[in-house]
Amino acid sequence: MSAMSRLSFKEQVLRVREDAIISSVNRLLADKGFDLMTVDEVAADVGIAKASLYKHFASKEALAAAAMVRLMQRTQALVEQQAARTDATPLQRLQAMTRWALELQLAGEMPSVPSQNSSLRAELMASQAYLDMLMQVSEVLGGWIHQAQASGDIDPALPSEVVLYTIYARACDPVPAFLKAGGSHSNEQIVDWVMTTCWRGLQR
């Protein structure tokens, strides 16, 4: 019996609506960013009253934080998928994570949030689910980084946090969007070029 089938009809409706709200927020954050996104736009996009939206999420920051939690869930699922691969080196797993982040961004599915927004940061830091997933993902990626450095696939002179943050930064790299806006290159070409410029700088 699935978790959804155990919920009451009202709970199922609320869950579906909440999923629709988060999906809308994710799209708007990817398209406009946190500063330009408004609660009114989210409500209109989902097709509900603003008051109904506030029954699910108390603020714009809570909306953005929910989208970031959803992104972290997707990230964690991909990490688990990569960890289960027996045909990949630690470097190849890290590169697969980087490629996924770039492809997600080009598909318009990567939420864009300001790193220095104090109100949003406070909301995320109050989310235990987000912090737990971020820690778990970072620990696994950190392990792969150490293994890749030990084998010489990544420059061992680089601090591991430099490598980790370089990978994370690809999720908000402006280069793919600039190249896509030019209209002269395919998404695949763009991803390949950004992967090359990123990873050649991390390898010896």
Domains and CATH numbers, the chain: 60-202 (1.10.357.10)
The answer to whether 57 and 21 have CB atoms below 8 angstroms apart is: yes
Residue 190 CB contacts under 8 Å (≥ 6 apart), including other chains:
102, 106, 175, 176, 179, 180
The pLDDT assigned to 8 comes to 77
Per-residue model confidence as pLDDT tens digits over 144-174: 999 999 999 999 999 999 999 999 999 888 8
Q: How far apart are CA 36 and CA 152, in angstroms?
A: 44
Main-chain phi, psi angles of 193, to 5 degrees: -65, -45
Tokens 């050649």 belong to residue: 200
Q: How far apart are CA 32 and CA 101, in angstroms?
A: 18
The pLDDT assigned to 4 comes to 53
Per-residue model confidence as pLDDT tens digits over 183-200: 999 999 999 999 999 998
Is it the case that residue 81 has pLDDT exceeding 80?
yes
Is it the case that residue 3 has pLDDT exceeding 60?
no
| Mean pLDDT rounded to a whole number for the chain | 90
H-run or E-run covering 63 = helix 60-83
The pLDDT assigned to 2 comes to 52
State the average pLDDT over residues 77-104. 96
Given pLDDT bands bounded at 50, 70 and 90, which one contains residue 80? very high
